[in-house]
A and B are shown apart, each in its own frame.
Chain A
Amino acid sequence: MQPTPSSSPDAAVLLIPNQREEIERAESLLLAAMERQAYPDAARFAVRLALEESLVNAFRHGHKGLPGDTPARVEFAVTPSTVELAVEDQGPGFTPGDVPDPTLDENLERPTGRGLLLMRAYMARVEYVGRGNRVEMTYKRPAARGQEQV
């Protein structure tokens, strides 16, 4: 994982292999940036969960069949009002509509398929772009969300 030379303290582009310590280092960088912008604990919980789930999807599904050391690309930019987060894998892409709704009674006992649901629940925007191998997400500070609703 190497920050690019252009990374500013609250924005970074990282290449993350599927290793726990590298994932945690990326999380630490993102959470530290959010702390500098005084995001509350609940916001950091939400964004960390979204990053975890998107990286699990990247490695487990996107990189299925690819060499184990294939890295995923993580980009984030933290401003006082939003956290922009993108995770891009090197796989063939996926179609979000193919994921069955895990909250339906008939799917409640299925052990998989909840990552995307959680990402959508906690983030203001979740969008798959390109061939479906890159997910872009936006978290809005709760005050900013409230102002939008007025």
Chain B
Amino acid sequence: MPTGSSRLRVKQEQAITQVEFVDRNILDEANIQQIGDEISALIDGSTMPKLLINFANVDHLSSAALGTLITINNKMKGRKGQLRLANIDPQIYEVFKITKLDKLFSIHQSTEAALASFT
């Protein structure tokens, strides 16, 4: 990856799947749906998956994108997996704080810190 029309860049290292977004703005509902489907495909069929979502390229996201992240988080919990978020821009982190989703997600300042947090 990335494949031709994928919204994600995916890297597999050890047992950890690392995902980056192709788009700087995660606003378009069709793209958000696709992102959700692509990440779901990565974790479906896995037991105890480890997933790191890297927000380094992201400038904007909407509540619909938050909803997709929550759905992914719920799926990960159902599979006893571990989900980490990293490199979130301060303006976007504020969105997580306003919605109190900073309490729901395991958020790390850097990829290294997120990787080190997996057990």
A and B pair up: yes
CB–CB A108/B101 < 8 A: yes
Q: Are B60 and A103 in contact (CB under 8 A)?
A: no
| Interface residue stretch chosen among A45-53, A68-76, A90-98 | A45-53
A114 touches B104 (CB 8 A): no
Give CA–CA (A113, B103) in the complex, Å: 17
Question: Interface of chain B, helix or strand or loop or mixed?
Answer: helix
Chain B nearest CB, measured from A115 CB (Å): 4
User: Within the complex, what minimum Cβ distance (angstroms) separates B53 from chain A?
Assistant: 16
Interface of A is mostly: helix
Q: Does A150 contact B (CB under 8 A)?
A: no
Using known A-B contacts A49-B62, A52-B27, A56-B29, determine if residue A110 contacts B98 with beta carbons closer than 8 Å: no
The bracket for how many chain B residues form the interface is: 20 to 34
How big is the A interface, by class?
20 to 34
What is the interface of chain A, defined by CB distance below 8 A to chain B? 20, 41-42, 45, 48-49, 52-53, 56, 60, 102-103, 108-112, 114-115, 117-118, 121
CB-CB contacts below 8 Å: B62-90 with A: 62-64, 66-68, 70-71, 73-74
For residue B67, which residues in chain A have a CB less than 8 angstroms away from its CB?
111-112, 114
Give chain B residues whose Cβ lies under 8 Å from the Cβ of A111: 66-68, 70-71, 74
